[in-house]
Every structure is written in C-alpha cells, then in structure tokens.
Structure 1
Amino acid sequence: MTFKHAVSWFEIPVDDLDRAQKLYEAIFDAGLIPMTVPDFEMRMFPIIDPMNVCGTLAKRS
C-alpha cells in the first residue's frame, strides 16, 4: 500500500470544540463527524478517499 502524502492523520487540539467545528465546516464546506471515546471528544473530517490525509479536531482536556 502506498500513501499519496507524507502525513496520513492529524489532530488539531481545540478548547471550544463546537466553535472550531463551525469554523472548519464553513471553511471546507463539509460536515464533521462526532466521535467520542472514553474521556476524549473529537470531530472527524469526512474520509473521502482512505489513501488521502484525514484527521480530527480534538478537545483539549
């Protein structure tokens, strides 16, 4: 398997997850997907092509 980019996953730490979600949804014209794991809340950018870059907004704890 060969990736197209040197980076395949990123996390952007944010203090206000809802505010950051609105900003990035407006910039990229795409809905972010809520993800919650124990003690960690994130919003994931949609995966259009699994071989491209993807990532999340991650709420700082």
Structure 2
Amino acid sequence: MAHTKTAEHGKAIRALREAAGLTAADVAREAMVSESYLSKVETGQDTATPRWIGKVTGVIARHLSNAA
C-alpha cells in the first residue's frame, strides 16, 4: 500500500513538473535537490520527506503561477 502511494505521489510531481514546462534538471537546480533522487521519487523507486516535497513543489508552483 505505501509503495502505491509513493508511486502516485511521484507521478503527480512529474505531471505537475511537465505541465509547468520544466525538466527534472530545472527543478533539481532551483530546489537544490539531486536530479537522480527526483527521478527516483517520480518513478516510485524512493520516498521523499515532506520538506523535500515542499521544496520541489514550491519551485513547480512558482512556474505554474508565472505561466497563468
């Protein structure tokens, strides 16, 4: 069950990132996180802390709001 939720969260992060027109490298650089870890979270291979998710989604949200 936990693995399914992890995969769902990762898919949501990837979908939002792509909707914002960002690459994984863009998000990783701006959020100051590892691009490889971002990829693992997006594919459900690893889990992320709430703080990490906040950093990543904050970057994505800024780009989505600027595009609106």
TM-score, normalised to structure 1, is: 0.32
Higher helix share: 2
Structure of higher CA gyration radius: 1
